[in-house]
Amino acid sequence: WAVHAEDVAAIRQLKRDRDAIILAHNYQTPEIYHGVADIVGDSLALAREAVTAKASVIVLAGVHFMAETAKILNPGRTVLIPDARAGCSLASSITAADVADLRARHPGVPVITYVNTSAEVKAASDICCTSGNALKIVESLGVPRVIMIPDGYLARNIAARTSVEIITWEGACEVHERFTPADIAEIRAGHPGVAVVAHPECPPEVVAVADFAGSTAEMIDFVARDRPKRVALITECSMSDNVAAGFPEISFVKPCNLCPHMKRITLPGIRHALETLTHEVTVPDAIAAGARRAVDRMLAVR
């Protein structure tokens, strides 16, 4: 912490000078999550917060699609991402042309798009979803078949919980796809009684052997509600570190795969972003309008 103190102090001052707030995803490192963030949360919470943010500048401590979503929802603000290269293997797995191909192959079937996508792909979609509301969104449409892109594992995990037929796309999160049922067996053998909580971007075989599956916010809710003595959060590395700070009585087993994109965001990077007002995220009006329609439609489903 001592090495970070100067950056933390500088960032807090810069936030006041720039009338800025920092929205941080749950996978950001603890010094960002606990040290400088104004709002922390899962993708859904960050989108909801972006809609109502009053500050002139929003710094998105997360990946590019999250910053784009914030800009789409609140175009009057300056939205900054500290490292413009912070991408996502899901977002890069599909293009708007791929969505057009899917529609041509499945005429009339609505397209539900995970928020982990570019603005162009959102604009080509009917409605968005996050891992926190995917089941609700699928069932809200009242149709027998949907196309759900781009995360094939998330789509199959949702398909297991609904009678709606789901047409999938073969994108995957490079972090969660690496977890295996053998990892879970090893955790259970080494930590008797452990509650295993998996993210639905994990393969269905992993979710099948977990005690609970949910978005990063739902993982935190599970820990807060069930208060297991021991818990393993099957997700990105920083998650357990961030959550553990609030539950000193719970022992966190820390299986961990690092997201290289999330880890591009650092305290010095955030400080530089606020000093120089870079890297500004913009979305062309025509694309932003279509993307906003799909995201707004998602936010209206409660």
Residues forming the annotated binding site? 25, 43, 88, 114-116, 131, 173, 199-201, 216, 259
Q: Kindly state whether residue 261 participates in binding ligand SF4, applying the rule CB under 6 A.
A: yes
Q: Kindly state whether residue 240 participates in binding ligand 13P, applying the rule CB under 6 A.
A: no
CB-based contacts of 2, cutoff 8 Å, min separation 6: none
CB-based contacts of 105, cutoff 8 Å, min separation 6: none
Q: Kindly state whether residue 203 participates in binding ligand 13P, applying the rule CB under 6 A.
A: no
Q: Given candidates 50, 57, 73, 90, which one binds ligand SF4 under the rule CB under 6 A?
A: 90
Q: State the Cα–Cα distance between residues 26 and 236, nearest whole angstrom.
A: 9
100-119 CB burial, b ≥16 within 10 A, e <16: eebbeeeeebbbbbbbbbbb
Q: Kindly state whether residue 295 participates in binding ligand SF4, applying the rule CB under 6 A.
A: no
Q: State the Cα–Cα distance between residues 119 and 70, nearest whole angstrom.
A: 11
Q: Given candidates 93, 118, 215, 266, which one binds ligand 13P under the rule CB under 6 A?
A: 215
Q: For residues 139-198, which are near ligand 13P according to CB under 6 A?
A: 173
Q: Which two tokens stand for residue 271?
A: 């400080």
Residue carrying the six token digits 């995990």: 157
Q: State the Cα–Cα distance between residues 238 and 33, nearest whole angstrom.
A: 9
Q: State the Cα–Cα distance between residues 34 and 161, nearest whole angstrom.
A: 35
Q: Which is nearer to ligand 13P, 157 or 215 (CB)?
A: 215
Q: For residues 99-118, which are near ligand SF4 according to CB under 6 A?
A: 116
Per-residue binding letters, 189-228, with ligand SF4 (x by CB under 6 A): ------------x---------------------------
Q: Which is nearer to ligand SF4, 66 or 195 (CB)?
A: 66
Residues at the site binding ligand 13P, with contacts judged by CB under 6 A:
26, 42-44, 116, 130-132, 173, 201, 215-216
